[in-house]
A and B are shown apart, each in its own frame.
Chain A
């Protein structure tokens, strides 16, 4: 699946991978996120924190008619206000996608898949 844009000079095709990559990149820059989690985690029961190169597995881009929805599976740091971290991710992903692709996203759904507790 991909997004088609018509411009005066021709067509632009943006694949979902591009959207997911940008969304993932914006998310990991957010404070409080310690990792992206695999979305299939519930199924296989392993809470793995994805390495940087495959954090795309934690981002799902869904297109329903003309609406774009993004699901993100993240792991947050213990001791942060989780709702606020999630909210920051939502607004940053929305903003970054708008800036780089001019896309408006209808929803950014955040699934907190885990909390990482570190010794401090």
Chain B
């Protein structure tokens, strides 16, 4: 059978069939509703809107399709409920405008009207969210316009529209992350598909099944779980402890004693639990319910037939297990992608490195160099596929290189030779970049920073043109001794004069274990007076040997 002209009477039948089909599926559409607000009313709202539209059509007795569409749009507008209802009213308002007062429609005319409906629906929104009823309507309209180029049969056109609407609906989870997370398709989109299916059925003169098996029970269960997951945080708050799913296969002799009524059965079950879903067709009922006594629900179901595919889960135990898992961090760790192993001396420096993201800090430094084995052990302990080593001392770089050669993991050494270089390199670490790129940028970052160290001489010596006596303090800038004096503060001032230039912005002071807070205060006051533009940061490094370590950038 083909239809080349769509008249008002046929269109009115389409509207009524769409409304009827939506009513039958409203509860299922409700169950899918997780966006924008998961309040489970999309199906109800669309159904009320659609019913209002259908009632206007019923009142009118006309064979003029333009008049019928006008009445339908008016009814939808008056009865619009919820976001989806308002969108629906816009789609059909545009639809009725798109007909240009024609009394009948060809396939091309119908396609144009559908397309014009979508255009006007998109006009009424500032920020359209894709993956909703709007997307489904748009994709279906696009298909309609394309098909109408060469198709004159209205039925064939509508068949393609329904097909594309369904395909588009299937794609909604890819466009809207919340849908994907829950594992459902968009509820408003489903509503529109349902309406279009009703249209098509009326065109073909077919009856639609009371329930639509197209909407996946699995999806609805996901959506119900998502909703109830919002309801409780504590295990003790779970009112109904068992997630229960089962199917009932109808048996004729049981049905003759207990005729089945879906509505009644649902109401009955709702007294025993929540997150309830009941879907039935001619042969089978599917039930999902969270109940405290699953047996009771099953017994109720058995009145109509035999049980199959039963599944009961203890949600309290599942919830406790989830909580335990989150609390329990002692389980064997999986290898992480990246780890950073570094060397430092002093509790403050260790903490500082850890807070910046170092996985393992080996104790060591000047006067106490870690062995290759110490570093190999640290690489193992770090438990990562890629390990970056920051030796922070010239004398440790070689041991680090050796450890890198021995390791099975992917290990690179960033040859930092001072603590400030190590800190700077660590800050340049980028977890998204590969290890070679990281080695390069971290190495460069380490070289940008100037290092100053204040320590004391353990013997008399002459170096770099300076005479140093045992017990004197020395100021070292990037490995070169620049100043020597009996007084620590004096040496520090001399060192800073050598190091700090006008271009420098930040001076970080790492306070050693032998430096008193009073002394640091005096030093900071001095720096603030002399170097107005520089920002000072003081950390307690508690390192031995060096009274101060400075980093200047």
- Chain A interface (Cβ < 8 Å from any Cβ of B): 28-35, 52, 76-77, 79-81, 84-85, 88, 91-92, 95-96, 118, 120
A34–B126 alpha-carbon span in the complex (Å): 5
**Given A31-B87, A32-B86, A120-B116: A81 and B125 interface contact (C-beta under 8 Å):** no
| Contacting residues, chain A, for B127 (C-beta < 8 A) | 28-29
| Contacting residues, chain B, for A28 (C-beta < 8 A) | 126-127
A81 B89 Cβ-Cβ under 8 A = yes
12 contacts across the A-B interface (CB closer than 8 A): A29-B127, A32-B86, A32-B90, A34-B123, A34-B125, A77-B125, A79-B89, A79-B120, A79-B124, A81-B85, A88-B86, A92-B36
The 8 A CB mask of B123-143 against A (1 = contact, 0 = none) is 111110100001000000000
A81 B80 Cβ-Cβ under 8 A = yes
The secondary-structure label for the interface of chain B is: helix
| Contacting residues, chain B, for A91 (C-beta < 8 A) | 37, 39
Q: Which residue of A lies closest to B84 (CB)?
A: A31
Query: Would you call B491 an interface residue if the criterion is a C-beta within 8 Å of the partner chain's C-beta atoms?
Result: no
A36 to chain B, nearest CB (A): 8
B122 to chain A, nearest CB (A): 10
A31 B86 Cβ-Cβ under 8 A = yes
A80 B37 Cβ-Cβ under 8 A = no
Query: Would you call B94 an interface residue if the criterion is a C-beta within 8 Å of the partner chain's C-beta atoms?
Result: yes
| Contacting residues, chain B, for A33 (C-beta < 8 A) | 125-126
Query: Would you call B290 an interface residue if the criterion is a C-beta within 8 Å of the partner chain's C-beta atoms?
Result: no
B86 A95 Cβ-Cβ under 8 A = no
Question: B124 touches which one: A52, A80, A88, A95 (CB < 8 A)?
Answer: A80
Question: A79 touches which one: B82, B90, B119 (CB < 8 A)?
Answer: B90
A94 to chain B, nearest CB (A): 9
| Contacting residues, chain B, for A95 (C-beta < 8 A) | 36-37, 39
B77 A79 Cβ-Cβ under 8 A = yes
| Contacting residues, chain A, for B78 (C-beta < 8 A) | 81
- Number of CB contacts from chain A to chain B under 8 A: 77
Query: Would you call B83 an interface residue if the criterion is a C-beta within 8 Å of the partner chain's C-beta atoms?
Result: yes
- Could you tell me how many residues of chain B have their Cβ less than 8 Å away from some Cβ of chain A? 27
**B28-86, CB < 8 A from A:** 36-37, 39, 77-78, 80-83, 85-86
B77 A81 Cβ-Cβ under 8 A = yes
B120 A88 Cβ-Cβ under 8 A = no
Q: Which residue of A lies closest to B98 (CB)?
A: A120
Q: Which residue of B lies closest to A85 (CB)?
A: B86
| Contacting residues, chain B, for A76 (C-beta < 8 A) | 124
Q: Which residue of A lies closest to B116 (CB)?
A: A120
| Contacting residues, chain A, for B21 (C-beta < 8 A) | none
B80 A84 Cβ-Cβ under 8 A = yes
A120 B81 Cβ-Cβ under 8 A = no
A32–B120 alpha-carbon span in the complex (Å): 11
**B98-133, CB < 8 A from A:** 116, 119-120, 123-127, 129
| Contacting residues, chain B, for A80 (C-beta < 8 A) | 77, 80, 86, 89-90, 124
B40 to chain A, nearest CB (A): 13
A92–B35 alpha-carbon span in the complex (Å): 10
| Contacting residues, chain B, for A92 (C-beta < 8 A) | 36-37, 83
Question: A120 touches which one: B36, B119, B129 (CB < 8 A)?
Answer: B119
A81–B129 alpha-carbon span in the complex (Å): 20
List 12 other contacts, CB 8 Å, given A32-B90, A84-B86. A30-B36, A34-B125, A76-B124, A77-B124, A80-B77, A80-B89, A81-B80, A88-B82, A92-B36, A92-B37, A118-B123, A120-B116
| Contacting residues, chain B, for A35 (C-beta < 8 A) | 126
Query: Would you call B439 an interface residue if the criterion is a C-beta within 8 Å of the partner chain's C-beta atoms?
Result: no
A118–B81 alpha-carbon span in the complex (Å): 22
